[in-house]
Amino acid sequence: MTDLLDAVLRVPAAVAYGLVAALVFAETAVFLGFVLPGETAVLLGGVLAASGRLSLPTVLAVAVVAAVAGDSVGYEVGRRFGPRILAARSLRRQAERLDRAQLLMRRHGGLAVLLARFAPFLRTVMPGLAGAGRMRYARFLAFNAAGGVVWGTGVTLLGFSAGRSYAVVEQALGVIGGVVLAAAVLALVVWRLLRHRRQRSPQ
């Protein structure tokens, strides 16, 4: 791998696993998803696995477990403090989107929990809304786990595929091709962040 990608991704394995776990967990447990989507960390974890710095099965396991655990904490926060959180000043600009999310949950129940995993705003708020709405935890956990497995696996493998493509291009085309694809990998991460910010802006 070239120095460009190494400079961005050179972190000890233990730190990388910890960051993936912490960011994915905090996305829904403490609503960090309003600032930084957890999938960014999972994508980078997949890229690191492709480079041989991390174990792919471990990144997969960390992403899935952190996603399910974070959602479970978010559910409990919503169950205990739901009305207070929904009335928070930081969410007032998102009132219309919150109303749509609540309607989605009332209409589709557990299926809404599963589908929300794939939309940044819904992924952040749906566990809390499910808890505030008193959805049975066993039902919530079943759909939450299913969504966590599919999402964690898919995003990790997306990052892994990007990293593997980088290695193939570097070997075939040399440093220039590697730098070009390294920029593409970084662009993917930046695109996800910008898309997340656009989705957070008031409609």
CB 20 within 8 Å of CB 42? yes
Instruction: Compute how many other C-beta atoms are within 10 angstroms of the C-beta atom of residue 66.
Output: 26
Q: Which pair of structure tokens corresponds to residue 161?
A: 């595929």
Q: Where are the domains of the chain?
A: 3-200
CB 105 within 8 Å of CB 112? yes
- b/e per residue, 163-202, with b = 16+ CB within 10 A? bbebeebbeeeeeebbbebbeebbebbeebeeebeeebee
In the prediction, which pLDDT does 88 show? 66
Q: For the chain, list residues with pLDDT below 50.
A: 1-2, 4, 169-170, 172-178, 203
State the Cα–Cα distance between residues 125 and 156, nearest whole angstrom. Answer: 22
Shortest CA distance to 68 belongs to which of 147, 157, 153, 132? 147
Phi, psi (rounded to 5 degrees) for 115:
-70, -30
In the prediction, which pLDDT does 153 show? 94
In the prediction, which pLDDT does 183 show? 59
State the Cα–Cα distance between residues 192 and 4, nearest whole angstrom. Answer: 20
